[in-house]
Chain A
């Protein structure tokens, strides 16, 4: 297992695509910080009545869906970065190969998600300073933890989601298109469904599940525990499909 994991790590860091994806994450943080800074500057010069109507300047909320998508793409890369013929000749024990890929995808997702959230929350806090709500939505670190934890969990889920889909469909491009539909396309469409389906369908979409897991939604359709279970189901279904494909199909 140690050797298979070392090989997967070597594969990931010796191609260009992951660096491009990480650069995109970095760019999102810079862009988010700029938006946050401009909001705060506008806030400071606005009259008190308008200040009360400002949205939060915490940009971690805005960039999390993008990071979810980018980490899903990293998961897809881990699944598909090498032709199966070569990968399975080097590591013919398919369960071992799957375990190595899963551990790497999970580790990359947690590190990228954790660092991104820590940076974006930290920079947001620096920019917002000691300004009050609503521009600064958190009063203490304790207030931030549920949201931050839920966001990192959702990024872990999308990373494994990308891995599972990549293993199942065996194409990075197709995986990324499906991920785009699931993370952005469907959540944009579900609110347009007739009631009560719109609420039911939206409640199980990944972007909404993050808020439900964090427990910061008023009157949520799902409890935090149920939301975690739905996220787990996403992983179970996609990683299950990927596992069946890898273990059963000819290379």
Chain B
């Protein structure tokens, strides 16, 4: 991210944000509600246009990547699906859009534990199942970069641990994992590196270890962001 800025009229959602996310680590993207985390992720994926600056992935804008899902996998909103479509069909069209074979979709549904419900319509799936389906969609292209926006929202303890282990495993394989959350306890267990934003501005970019040396992540986070909320 280089001087990334997003304004909606007089409101500044993200201001002059610059940081780098490194491979082989889980990078936690932390901040209060309305801090600009989701907007930043949307700009990285070309969904929202920056007012200024740029977000590059391996030196290229997401929208300029050929078959982008082979480079970047993202789960921003598990509810952003057609609920009348079957789980497998949802993955099939996403796979087709990037020249990925149907076999990969079937394999991934098994991998995320949805093999038994692959012919069910999405509206019949629980929130946790939809989250897993979103993760499967993100993994379709076997990408080197993964982005998750609040991935444990609404999950039961088993689902939370599953996501955590998945992200840790992906980073261990050398992939870049960028995950936003406002759940400090979860991030303390998952992230190696932390980027903290508040009111759209960078507050701190540091290894987790440095931040938690003298206390909990929650204490450090609250100290850094106090008075910077909405």
Interface residue ranges, A against B (CB under 8 Å): 3-4, 6-7, 10-11, 14-17, 81-86, 88-94, 250-251
Known contacts A14-B93, A93-B63, A250-B49; can you find 18 more A-B pairs with CB under 8 A? A3-B67, A6-B97, A10-B92, A10-B93, A10-B96, A11-B85, A14-B86, A14-B92, A81-B82, A82-B81, A82-B82, A84-B47, A85-B76, A86-B81, A89-B76, A90-B69, A92-B63, A92-B68
Please give the distance in Å from B136's CB to the nearest CB on chain A: 13
Flag if B49 contacts A4 (CB, 8 Å).
Answer: no
Cβ–Cβ < 8 Å partners of B81 in chain A: 82-83, 86
**Docked complex Cα distance between A16 and B82 (Å):** 11
Known: A89-B76, A92-B45. A7 touches B62 (CB 8 A): no
Any A CB within 8 A of the CB of B229: no
Flag if A3 contacts B96 (CB, 8 Å).
Answer: yes
Flag if A7 contacts B45 (CB, 8 Å).
Answer: no
| Category for how many chain B residues contact A | 20 to 34
**Docked complex Cα distance between A170 and B80 (Å):** 14
A-B contact pairs, 11 of them (CB 8 A): A3-B96, A7-B96, A11-B82, A83-B82, A84-B47, A85-B47, A90-B97, A90-B98, A91-B97, A92-B63, A250-B42
Cβ contact of B80, chosen from A6, A11, A85, A92, cutoff 8 A: A85
The chain A residue with its CB closest to the CB of B100 is A3
Cβ–Cβ < 8 Å partners of B85 in chain A: 11, 14-15
Cβ–Cβ < 8 Å partners of A84 in chain B: 47
Please give the distance in Å from B195's CB to the nearest CB on chain A: 21
The chain A residue with its CB closest to the CB of B47 is A251
**Docked complex Cα distance between A91 and B89 (Å):** 17
Cβ–Cβ < 8 Å partners of B77 in chain A: 83, 85
Any A CB within 8 A of the CB of B35: no
The chain A residue with its CB closest to the CB of B61 is A92
Any A CB within 8 A of the CB of B99: yes
How many pairs of A and B residues are in contact by the CB < 8 Å rule? 78
Please give the distance in Å from B123's CB to the nearest CB on chain A: 12
Interface residue ranges, B against A (CB under 8 Å): 42, 45-49, 62-63, 65, 67-69, 74, 76-77, 80-82, 84-86, 89-90, 92-94, 96-99, 137
The chain A residue with its CB closest to the CB of B49 is A250
Flag if A6 contacts B96 (CB, 8 Å).
Answer: yes
Known: A92-B45, A92-B62, A251-B48. A3 touches B76 (CB 8 A): no
Please give the distance in Å from A92's CB to the nearest CB on chain B: 4
Cβ–Cβ < 8 Å partners of A90 in chain B: 68-69, 93-94, 97-98
Flag if A86 contacts B80 (CB, 8 Å).
Answer: yes
Cβ–Cβ < 8 Å partners of B47 in chain A: 84-85, 88-89, 250-251
Cβ–Cβ < 8 Å partners of A86 in chain B: 80-81, 94, 137
Instruction: Give the 7 A-B CB pairs with smallest separation, nearest first.
Output: A7-B97, A14-B89, A92-B63, A10-B93, A251-B47, A83-B80, A90-B97
Please give the distance in Å from A164's CB to the nearest CB on chain B: 21
Cβ–Cβ < 8 Å partners of A94 in chain B: 63
Please give the distance in Å from B145's CB to the nearest CB on chain A: 13
Please give the distance in Å from A20's CB to the nearest CB on chain B: 11
Cβ contact of B42, chosen from A7, A10, A251, cutoff 8 A: A251
Please give the distance in Å from B41's CB to the nearest CB on chain A: 11
**Docked complex Cα distance between A84 and B47 (Å):** 8
The chain A residue with its CB closest to the CB of B99 is A3
Please give the distance in Å from A147's CB to the nearest CB on chain B: 37
The chain B residue with its CB closest to the CB of A94 is B63
**Docked complex Cα distance between A11 and B93 (Å):** 6
The chain B residue with its CB closest to the CB of A97 is B97
Cβ–Cβ < 8 Å partners of B86 in chain A: 14
